[in-house]
Chain A
Amino acid sequence: GEDVEQSLFLSVREGDSSVINCTYTDSSSTYLYWYKQEPGAGLQLLTYIFSNMDMKQDQRLTVLLNKKDKHLSLRIADTQTGDSAIYFCAESVWGSGGGADGLTFGKGTHLIIQP
């Protein structure tokens, strides 16, 4: 079965780097995603990584994937107050995972920015 785990809260100082971690159990995951949810809004895709990649960088965002340990991380450089949100890790498992081509989400990590 599929299970995606994240810590519920992360607090960082403005200007520091934030690292949000996620572990998953299904080794047949094809894509892994990071979604961002701002207060009162729906989820928006931040970035994703294909399971045969180790790293993906996109401006201030760096995604690292350790497939052996089934560990995914999202690093946000120079964290700003606008980064305050809930960040969801999700995996896509072809043919399973909440149904055909479904996504399985973690519970979300609340990123809290301290001035």
Chain B
Amino acid sequence: NAGVTQTPKFQVLKTGQSMTLQCAQDMNHEYMSWYRQDPGMGLRLIHYSVGAGITDQGEVPNGYNVSRSTTEDFPLRLLSAAPSQTSVYFCASRMTGGLSNTEAFFGQGTRLTVV
């Protein structure tokens, strides 16, 4: 059981380049989300999905696109990378719990530098 897998672990991009950060989970979780972590800012939600075919914006969605064509995968696309997008990106998944507790499982992170 691999949990949440993110690739790549490290990436350097030039300003204006595009790329896709991959996230896959094998726990059949409905809810998946992308966060970015910056010093002193904690975790900020970029986009999330409550199931295949459904996505929505989080706190800081600008400059990022997502899609959820399968339950397992939730890629994050940077359309035109900017230095402000230099960050550590985390993907997380959990069962949608409603009033029940559900643990969020995190990937190991992707460290992105935009030069």
Q: Give chain A's interface residues, CB within 8 Å of chain B.
A: 8, 30-31, 33, 35, 40-45, 48, 50, 88, 90, 92, 94, 98-103, 105-108
Q: How many residues of B contact A (CB 8 A)?
A: 29
Instruction: Decide if B42 touches A99 in the complex (CB within 8 Å).
Output: no
Which residue of the partner chain, among A30, A41, A45, A90, contacts B99 with CB atoms under 8 Å? A30
Closest Cβ of chain A to B67, distance in Å, is 16
Cβ contacts under 8 Å, B75 to chain A:
none
Instruction: Decide if B99 touches A94 in the complex (CB within 8 Å).
Output: yes
Q: What per-residue 1/0 map shows which CB atoms of B1-37 lie under 8 Å from chain A?
A: 0001000000000000000000000000001010100
Instruction: Decide if A94 touches B98 in the complex (CB within 8 Å).
Output: yes
Which residue of the partner chain, among B33, B40, B45, B106, contacts A8 with CB atoms under 8 Å? B40
Cβ contacts under 8 Å, A94 to chain B:
97-99
